[in-house]
Structure 1
């Protein structure tokens, strides 16, 4: 048995609306939004009785999704948003964009800040990391083919 596909990557935030707006500006589409709560959900996550607002966003190609969650209950217990890229755990998600400079300009209006600088890897990519809403670490890549 092998994995069929990766369904989504989850990110926990404080400001769901601001984060949705940011990822819309990046080009993701809001697929759906709702609330998940109750004992059944807590059995999956191990958190017990929980109440979570969720937004599912889809990449334009339809192959990948980003699940953005805002926990109302139980309270948040840790904050990894300001961790550097070499910290343990899941820390960033990377998107391929058409034009990295134009994308950076658009995302700066939503509070994005460049981490380090935009660099070129051989003749293949231009790459950078940014801090998005709430300090989320996001990678951007532009193919140079």
Structure 2
């Protein structure tokens, strides 16, 4: 086997403190923050003059991580704002939650917007898609078993 695990998903944001607050409200834990730059980083990512602040947040079980990155230089390029869920590329991040309505209420105070409706999928799950900071699509799933 060549893959041991998926370590993290990188998400570029403009407002790092707001993104951290949003994902902490969701229940992720702040693992650490750092500033990176220099020739090694430039070589790694294929850009010149990188100066980036980042934060790693993890799920309570310790298995899932997001690396939230704010690029100061070079300036971040923009993707299509509020791209629909069927646009090419990574479109959403899904989290299993215990009380989906409580989570929705808490995330709305951080600017989250419900994209469609909260739905019941058969007798197994309640699901919804929300748009979080920077237009990130976050799916929430509550297991009904």
Shared fold, TM over 0.5: yes
Match of 2:60 in 1: 60
Say how many residue pairs are matched. Answer: 145
Distance 1:106 1:52 in 2: 29
After superposition, give the CA deviation of every residue in 1:58-106 in whole Å (9 maximum; x if it has no partner). Answer: 1000111110000001111222441111000012111000011110011
Give the secondary-structure state (helix, strand or coil) at the position aligned to 1:134: helix
Question: Relative to 1, partners in 2 of residues 1:74 and 1:17: Cα closer, same or farther, differing over 3 Å?
Answer: same
**Alignment RMSD (CA, Å):** 1.0
Distance 2:74 2:39 in 1: 12
- Shift, 1:48, TM fit: 2.4
Contact residue 81 and residue 137 of structure 1 kept, 8 A: no
Corresponding position: 1:103 with 2:103:
yes
Query: What's the TM-score, normalizing by structure 1?
Result: 0.96
- Shift, 1:130, TM fit: 0.4
Runs ≥4 residues deviating over 6 A: none
Contact residue 51 and residue 72 of structure 1 kept, 8 A: yes
Unaligned runs of 5+ in 2: none
Distance 1:10 1:142 in 2: 24
Contact residue 56 and residue 68 of structure 1 kept, 8 A: yes
After superposition, give the CA deviation of every residue in 1:24-49 in whole Å (9 maximum; x if it has no partner). Answer: 10000000001010111111111122
Distance 2:122 2:59 in 1: 27
Distance 2:102 2:87 in 1: 29
